[in-house]
Every structure is written in structure tokens, then in C-alpha cells.
Amino acid sequence: MYLKPNSTIAIAATARHIDKDSINNAKQIFESWGLKVLLSNYLFEHEDSFAGNDEIRALGLQQLLDNPELDAIVLARGGYGTVRIIDKIDFTNFRKKPKLIAGFSDGTVLHAHVNQNFGIQTLHSCMPITMQGKYFNEQTNQSFKNVLFGNAINYQFEQHSLNNCNHVEGELIGGNLSVLFSLLGSPSDLNLDGKILFIEDIGEYYYHIDRMMQGLDRAGKFKNLKGLLVGGMSDMNENAAPFAFNKNCYQIINEVVGKYNFPVFYGFPAGHENLNLCVKLAANCKINFDKEHVFFNQE
């Protein structure tokens, strides 16, 4: 399932529209890794904020999922729109010949749907829009390359004062918190029992974070969770009448999950930050720690 030199990777647009410069730059990077690059037939369509209407975006993704010559599909960017097309997609051929699906943010819809319904691994990774320009980070891009080519993952990050540390091993699933919350009760809703959940988000109000965490808790999502890995909570907003006062997102999250005994690790370097390390979803991971650092590993 992983790539090798001369593997073919495709770029798809399932959400917001994308410009040609961003794609051309990413295409050059992928080619420098020894990969062949195929662009979706409708990659540069534009209607409202989307990369074409729902039918066009669904057709573009469907053609790539059905293409037996492809080894991976990378989502061009996030934004919003994947949830509008997910129920239009037929995964029959994809299930017969799975290919890596990579991306983050709005791509969480695809991660969750594929992980939950088919048990197929996907990659929470950077995307063409974030691989160059103001978002460029060499370590981020290199982590994506390493995972695409099947190399083991070994990351470390600093301990956080709110961490509830314990060694934990299990299946990692998740992605963008807002998207995961929007999938509750749908065919793409994740079963978190016995799993390690990864979450990240950007641009939300503090009370939105609390509302989503309270909603997930009331839905029973944390009762049998094995562990929680919290990534970037970036560019958050506050109301004119403050909700959180001196609290940050990690503290708001901890107020909800602190009553449980599962391990919780804050500050994982993935999400809407320049440093956005690639991880495998629907895949086993191990999380260990010492006094100063947390260690995240995937084979």
C-alpha cells in the first residue's frame, strides 16, 4: 500500500477551490521524491467557495478512487465541502484495491468514513496548499515523504503540565475536532471504543471547543476511549464577553476529559501549524514518555 519510486500519486479537490501555482509547486516536490503525479480532471473548477459544484467534486474523486493505476490520493486543501459529497461516493473499487488517502482539516470527513466503514488506513498529513509558501516547513514535508514510503514513525514532543501520563498502545483515529463533531450520528461517525483519539482545530471560539467536547462527552464518545492525543489548537477566538477568561483550549478540553482515567497528551505537533507531522490513522501507535518528553511511534 505504501509508495516506492515511480509510484503514481493523484491530487484531488474535494472542498475549497485551489490555485494552479500551489498545485504546480507541490507537483514539483512530489516529482523530486521520484513520484509520478496525476491531477484530477476537475482540479481547478471553481463555484462559490468550492472547487466546482458537488457533482463535479464527487466525480473527480470517484474517478481517482476507481483508477487502478493510482497508489495514493492527496487532497489539495481543506476549507469546507467534503461532507457534501461523501454520500455520493461509491467505494466498491477502492475497497478492492485500496490506495493511500492523505490530507487533513476538512479531509477528516474522508479519514473518518474510510477508517470507520472499511478499516482502511489513511494519512493525516500536510497538503499541497501547505507544502510551500508561508506554510512551508521542511520537517513537515519530510515526515509526509517518510510515511508515504512506509518508513517507521518516531516523534517526540515536550511534556505538558495537563498531561495524564500512562503508557498506551492502540489504534489511532481522529482528525479535526469540528469535523468529527459534525459527523455525529452519520454513517461516517467514528466508534471510539478502545481507540486512541487524535484531535486538532483552528479558528474556533473557545465556547465552540467546549460545546463540541461537551457534545462528544454526552454522546458517550469518551466512556471507553483508550487515550487522547491533542494537537494544535490554533488562532482561537474569544467573545466580547469572555467565555474562558484566562483559560486556553487545552484547559477547556481537560475540564471535560479530566474526569476519565485514560491517558491524555497535549501539544502533539500536528494540525494547522507549520509543523504538522504526518501520522497514520486506523493504524496502531505506541505512546511512551519520560519526565521531559512524550514519544509517539508507529511501525
pLDDT tier, 246 (very low <50, low <70, confident <90, very high otherwise): confident
What's the whole-number mean pLDDT along residues 256-260?
A: 97
How far is it, in rounded angstroms, from Cα 104 to Cα 202? 12
Q: Closest Cα partner for 123 from 60, 156, 172?
A: 172
Q: What is the CATH number of domain 153-298?
A: 3.50.30.60
CA distance 122 to 112: 9
Question: What are the strands of the beta sheet with 168-176, ordered from one edge?
Answer: 153-158, 293-298, 283-289, 168-176, 196-202, 227-234, 264-266
pTM assigned to the model: 0.96
Note whether 108 and 45 are within 8 A (CB): no
Across the range 103-110, mean pLDDT stands at 98
Q: Cell numbers 477528516 label which residue? A: 108
User: pLDDT of 170-217, one tens digit each?
Assistant: 999 999 999 999 999 999 999 999 999 999 999 999 999 999 999 999
pLDDT at 225 over 90: yes
| Residue 146 pLDDT exceeds 80 | yes
The confidence band for 102, taking pLDDT boundaries of 50, 70 and 90, is very high
Confidence category of residue 295, pLDDT binned at 50, 70, 90 = very high
- Do the domains 8-148 and 153-298 sit in the same CATH topology, yes or no? no
CATH homologous superfamily of domain 8-148? Murein tetrapeptidase LD-carboxypeptidase, N-terminal domain (3.40.50.10740)
pLDDT in the model for residue 221: 98
Q: Is the pLDDT of residue 132 over 90?
A: no
Rounded CA separation 125/187 (Å): 23
Interatomic CA distance for residues 152 and 229, integer angstroms: 19
CB atoms within 10 A of CB 124: 28
Q: Is the pLDDT at 245 greater than 80, yes or no?
A: no
Contact indicator for 131, 25 with CB cutoff of 8 Å: yes
Domain boundaries, the chain: 8-148, 153-298
pLDDT at 243: 87
Q: How far apart are CA 147 and CA 123, in angstroms?
A: 8
CA separation for the pair 1, 150 (Å, rounded)? 8
Cell numbers given for 108: 477528516
For residue 134, name the pLDDT band (cuts at 50, 70, 90): confident
The whole-chain average pLDDT of the chain stands at 96
- pLDDT (tens digit per residue) in 53-64: 999 999 999 999
Q: What is the mean pLDDT of residues 144-160?
A: 98
The grid coordinates listed for 110 are 474522508
pLDDT at res. 242: 81
- Residue with grid cell 458517550, as numbered in its chain: 220
**Whether 287 contacts 295, CB under 8 Å:** yes
In the prediction, which pLDDT does 175 show? Answer: 98
Contacts of 185 (CB under 8 A, 6+ apart): none
Per-residue exposure over 2-34, b if at least 16 CB sit within 10 Å of its own CB, e if not = ebeeebbbbbbbbbbbbeeebbeebbebbeebe
What average pLDDT score do residues 103-124 get?
A: 98
- Once rounded to an integer, what is the mean pLDDT over residues 22-28? 94
Residue 28 is placed in which grid cell?
Answer: 514539483
Helix (H) or strand (E) holding 46: none
224: phi then psi, degrees, rounded to nearest 5: -120, 25
pLDDT in the model for residue 65 = 98
Q: In this model, does residue 1 exceed pLDDT 90?
A: no
Residue 240: pLDDT band (50, 70, 90) is confident
Share of residues in the chain with pLDDT > 70 (%):
100
